[in-house]
A and B are shown apart, each in its own frame.
Chain A
Amino acid sequence: MNEEREKEEVEKRELIKDGKRLDGRGFEELRPIKIEVGVLKRADGSCYFELGENKVIAAVYGPKEMHPRHAQDAKMAVVKFRYNMAPFSVDDRKRPGPDRRSVEVSKVSREAFEPVIMREFYPKAAIEVYVEILQSDAGTRTAGINAASVALADAGIPMKDLVSSVAVGKIDGQVVLDLNGTEDNHGEADMPIAMVARTNTITLLQMDGHLTAEEFGRGLKLAMGACRQIYELQRAALIERFSSSSNSGSKSEKRGE
């Protein structure tokens, strides 16, 4: 799901060799993750997030006045989410501007956060989340959601919980965690999810490709466990940010497991 048009299955390519994936990872292993909080000066909250070769940045503006006026909600803030891929983020340059895929990703990403943001604190206002993909290698929407969670906290937006996100997929008949670009292109299924780690509540769920019901159930469990791991990293990054004597931003480098 990381290219402008849906990929078709290409010539069969061996993605698993000697029980390991091409990049050396185990079937249930996350790519390395890096999180930096408060990287932008102008935004109210921000986060730079790396997931393997993915590089994304999330910025939050708000609460702020909501325009257009007629779209205001008298009882609560409106959440706007814009996912966008930079033209240079992929091998074949992507034309700037929203395409249908970005529109869909923006929608499901926004819906991933609506259950946790306490919107009733800011009636009639808008909370704007911007996710920019600077470098893409499959799983950009999951990286974007992870970054957005941290950026929302950084902006001081009241939330019930953080949201964490990861994708599972199927390659060479095997259900695996966190597909990279090659695996996504040549794989049989791709299933991103987002979840609230504390309550195990799923707030984003999509599946593309082909899975048996049993594989789906297994993949879902695998993804949920990984989300809990990612949550720990997000939380640690936010805490560490204030453990240095100045809060000009913090770096938190973690290896996923």
Chain B
Amino acid sequence: MGLEIMDEIKQNYVANLIASGKREDGRGFREFREISVERGVAERAEGSARVKIGDSDVLVGVKLDVGAPFPDTPNKGVIITNAELVPLASPEFESGPPREDSVQLARVVDRGIRGSEAIDLERLCIEEGEKVWIVFIDIHILDNGGNLVDAAALGAISALLNARIPFEKWGLPAPAGEGEEEEGRESSRLPIRETPVAVTTAKIEGKILVDPNVNEENAATTKLTVISNADGSLSGMQKSGSGGLKEDEVLEMVELGIEKAGEIRENFL
């Protein structure tokens, strides 16, 4: 197929460039593409954010529901994260049951939120053992420009920061503590206490570079996604791809991940 040949040509081109120390779009190896974050874009959602990193475009919506807690955590709220790689986002996405890429994406983002305990789940308890708030994080990929996981994770935490508990809608009293009233709205913010940020680095031709675009992703044998918190601690990690990493490469990628997460947090969260 023509598409495959084009992909291969692009991959070789990208790989050769990187071997000589350059990137397709002129970026440095430690440089992210341009990032933009827009909050409150989906008004039917309790929280939402649209994140663009280069050509990647992701919309994350947060919806809140009331439901039963899990039996072993009767006093905690529930987080359910889902990702859809909708066909309009890329010639490679098809409709149908979730493919492994979308499952991985959702689970990695979920891991970051959960591991950092970004959401104070105990504050989401309405009635122990009976009713808790269920937080649905839905990731909708609109355009695949590469490195969707970083965009999705940034979208998720931005949407959560933007989200309000619709306790009024459910006829429930305001959650203990936060009773902020903003103009015309009697709801309170979701209790967020950490800001995990995902940073993905790729290894191509033996070189480590951050935020791979689509062509770089295809050329990379290995990627490592590092999710870190404001205090520099880690709340998630995922290696993907068919290659391998040496210990020192992993440590370098982790260090780079924490550093870049700090920059992103400062500028966007």
Contacts and interface: CB of A to CB of B under 8 A. Distances in A.
B100 A213 contact: no
Interface stretch (A57-65, A194-202, A234-242): A194-202
B70 A209 contact: no
B235 A209 contact: yes
A8 B233 contact: no
B250 A220 contact: yes
A22 interface: no
Given A115-B242, A191-B237, A211-B233, A103 B98 contact: yes
A193 to B, nearest CB: 9
A197 B236 CA distance: 24
Nearest to B104: A104
A200 B242 contact: no
A210 B234 contact: yes
B244 to A, nearest CB: 4
B239 A216 contact: no
A204 B246 CA distance: 11
Contact of B244 (A100, A202, A221): A202
B240 interface: yes
Which of A104, A204, A220 has the most chain B CB atoms closer than 10 A to its own CB? A104
A208 B104 contact: no
Given A208-B115, A216-B254, A202 B246 contact: yes
Interface string A173-195: 00000000000000001010000
Contacts of B250: 202, 205, 220
Contact of B254 (A5, A107, A209, A213): A213
Query: Which secondary structure dominates chain B's binding surface?
Result: mixed
Contact of A202 (B116, B232, B247): B247
Contacts of B116: 210
Given A8-B76, A205-B224, A212-B234, A107 B104 contact: yes
23 contacts: A10-B72, A103-B98, A104-B100, A107-B240, A108-B239, A189-B115, A201-B244, A203-B244, A203-B245, A205-B239, A206-B238, A207-B237, A208-B111, A208-B115, A208-B236, A209-B115, A210-B115, A213-B234, A213-B254, A216-B234, A216-B237, A220-B251, A224-B247
